[in-house]
Structure 1
Amino acid sequence: MTNNEITPFQIAVPQSDLDDLRNRLQRTRWTDELPGAGWERGVPASYLRDLAGYWAEKFDWRAQESMLNAYPQFTTVIDGQRLHFLHIRSARTDATPLLLVHGWPGSVLDFLDLIEPLTAPGAGEPAFHLVIPSVPGFGFSGPITETGWTDTRIAAAFAELMARLDYDRYGVQGGDIGAFIGPALGRVDAEHVIGIHANALVTFPTGDPADMAALTETEQERLKAMKNFQDDMSAYMQLQGTRPQTIAHALADSPTGQLAWIVEKYKEWTDAAKDLPEDAVDRDRLLATVSIYWFTDTARSVANSYYERFHDASMWAPKPPATVPTGVAVFTTADYAIRRFAEKAHNITHWSEFYQGGHFPALEVPDLLTGDIREFFKSLSTDD
């Protein structure tokens, strides 16, 4: 493959890998649990045993594989790294190119329910050509083969991808780490990015006493929730951000361990009104995502992305406010964005707050996310 070649791609997990997964799941050495602990100390063994049993005996990977393969997929090499992406063009001639960037623990699967409404909308709604990449190091864009894949480097690779597809002007949408990569794209490719839409945007207190005094009751609650996350829910981030190789050994060897590592986040970060992860996100979609992490053996390079973020001095260095118009959607759980803080770093032109959904709105409330993407890009002119 030459450095500029774009090659059609189809997912085809070997049957031997499916057999190995089932065998490993069946041979799990289960831990016990303290009576009455629930989810407070992590994923309950009883819950995980049931979910792993479903994964081994009832989950149909081939059906998920076929569903993904129904969409045009491609790979190309950018900056020495294979990059996998879906590319779905709208039939509308006035469609806007839109790059959709997933987070962790996510994949291109996150956006499947957005494809039809964004590419083939009803009358009066904007249409989009969609480019949905696997983030370098994740899924079929992994594993990475060298250090240094910071968010800025990933953003530059995505800018090159959009240029390679002949998209001169395009929008970006992303959540979680996609909400870091999207704004980074707005800085490295500002002349081509028309707007950035983000959910789960991380905002930090400015330290300005006037800002703190002006916080609303809701914003104060978000700050408290963010502190609780840092104090009681961020162990995964500290491990991946400081010792990615160590945690990777456990995750790469045990599918049950990989399942627990990921499903905990679907419990903690989805809408708090939902009791179990599968009440918020379809169980097969969840397991398909975990399966992608497992089959692509990307535990190490995924964890490494946190290490790069933690150790990238340029990312945290003071910089001028961004200029690209930015829209933000705030959902209920694990979303701590505060507008007055966001405005110090981003050119906020659109802000929406929703009272359902959580950290994974593309999976939990795709209709709300789709509507907000439309409203944001409607407000922008692509003619300048």
Structure 2
Amino acid sequence: MKYLAPLNYDRFFRKVFSDNTIAKQFLEDFLEAKIEEIEQLGDKHRITDDAAIVEFDYRCKINGKYIIIDMQQWYKPDVIRRFYLYHSLKDKYVISDPLVSKGKVKQKNYSLVEPVYTLIWMVDDNLNFSGDYAEFSLNHQDLINFVRDEHLWLNPDIYEIAKRRKEIVQLTDNQFKDVNFLAENKLVFMFQKNIASNLESNRSNKKYKRWFDFATKTKDDNNNVNDFTEFTNDKVFSEVIKRLRRDKLTDDDIKYIESEEEHIKLTQDFYLKQKLQLEQEKQEGIDIGVGIGVDKGIGIGVKKEKAKNKAEKNKMIKNMESKGLSVEAISDLTGLSLEEIKNIKADD
């Protein structure tokens, strides 16, 4: 039996990070900043009447300024737009601000709105980035234009580049009427998959890496006490281990793990099926193009594309068989007929 429950499962993620001491240590490690105060926010807000509830987690004081840190962990197909919307909702203080009288008109005091850091802990996806995390904020468009100006960067006159850079710095340093507040809000995607795979090659001693290494170890179905030796002398991680120990879980926790594992498997199969369907639709489009007459050169390319698609399907079929799925189950999940699966395997 595994030693620790998976930190990446929602129930245990909440169980761990609902503790302010644990959350504070993780946030300090990731943000590389000292948190002077931390308060967990319990209010919940709905995006729409039928949307999932979003909970804004922590209000922190860093360098004398307050920010809201919303830490989430999950993955949906619409992850970018979903979290941009969550991020834009701000915090409960926007909703509960006192009204300020201005003549006969009463207005909300938006000067009390605090910057929001939305941290999304991505487990198995990296959004096609290779780094440990990707950070986004709202900056002046001229900054983007400056970076993308190929003509400027090919200019041999370094002083012209330096001059333009100075202008951009002045724009981004503008604090008139708190316009710099826009850039203080950040949306950060943290990639456990990348951090875990880069641990050996990346000698960086960034403290946040240990959290993702720990989480990855808890995902292993065969994790044991020896896997976590390096964490046992740390007071905070000792508490995390205590909260995740499998032998301390309730029967309901065990059922939850089994249910979550089944859900993950079904989700993976669903997205695999979608991918195969897209490939089939692409192939049908190619076949139609061939049918209405394409030249010989493109015909050769089509044959190569077919061979590539067949190899990919064969690889997926093998992968699903290795997970114990029957040919009938593979057919149901992929939409491929039993005959197609048989032919693909025969050509291997």
| TM, length-normalised to structure 2 | 0.30
Q: Whose helix proportion is higher, 1 or 2?
A: 2
**Max radius of gyration: which structure?**
2
| TM, length-normalised to structure 1 | 0.27
